[in-house]
Amino acid sequence: MAGLRGDWVSGEPGAYYPDPDRDTRWRLAPNLTWYLTEFSKLRLQYNYDDRKNLGVDHSVWLQVEFMLGAHAAHKF
């Protein structure tokens, strides 16, 4: 399964002005998810983060999720 997430944020100067971490920024994050079993999944995600005053960051994330113990019945 493939996904795409986009974020755009802009902060008001307020009491923290000037704070470059609160400047306008946007992020694009495509991801791929593999459902290994009905109790586990693996996700690989890349983030492209463009911050107005701080530049561009690239990051890659790997998420492993699994379930242990009793849980309610569900359709997989």
Contacts (Cβ under 8 Å, ≥6 apart) of 7 = 25, 26, 27, 29
Residue found by looking up tokens 């009905």 in the block:
38
Give CA angle at 9 (28, 51), nearest 5°.
Answer: 65
Give the integer Cα–Cα distance in Å for 14 and 51.
Answer: 19
The reported pTM is 0.71
Q: Which helix (H) or strand (E) holds 24?
A: none
pLDDT in tens, 2-54: 999 999 988 766 666 666 667 788 999 999 999 998 889 999 999 999 987 78
**Any idea where the domains of the chain sit in the sequence?**
2-66
